[in-house]
Amino acid sequence: MKIFTSTQIHELDKYTIDHEPVSSINLMERAAKAITHLKQLLGINQEVEGRHIIIVEDIVDTGFTMQKMIDSLKEKNPASINVCSLLVKPGNLRVPLDIKYAVMEIPNDFIVGYGLDYDQQGRNLRDIYTIVED
């Protein structure tokens, strides 16, 4: 996601970057139990009350993780919250999300590359690839 974020900030006049990486634990149960398996790794260090927030994400899959982040940020009373995602899987969304900035919609496939991994593999690939089962 760092690569995607760095390419996007060149379009902004004034910004502050903070990050709150989250991960869904237990890949096999992610779709069914993502909210209960969410682990917050780092907190936001900036004051967000009254500020316009853009959450930059590499991929939005079921939407559970993104919805949890939005709900958490809403408690801090920002002026607005928008989502910018490199990839969105609209056919796999399980919660209604308004993703204002989406680079590309993709089918419900496993993908790797450009910082995305599958079972800790492929993150270092320069392009984005679909995992094809033999």
Q: Which residues contact 79 (CB under 8 A, 6 or more apart)?
A: 50, 51, 52
- pLDDT, tens only, 52-67: 888 888 899 999 989 9
List the structure tokens of 84. Answer: 């910018």
The reported pLDDT for the residue numbered 35 is 38
- pLDDT, tens only, 98-115: 999 999 999 999 999 988
- pLDDT, tens only, 28-87: 444 444 434 333 433 566 788 898 888 888 899 999 989 988 988 898 899 999 999 999
Report the catalytic residues: 61
The reported pLDDT for the residue numbered 36 is 40
Q: Is residue 132 a contact partner of residue 112, using CB atoms and an 8 Å limit?
A: no
Q: How far apart are CA 60 and CA 107, in angstroms?
A: 12
**Residue carrying structure tokens 């139990």:** 33
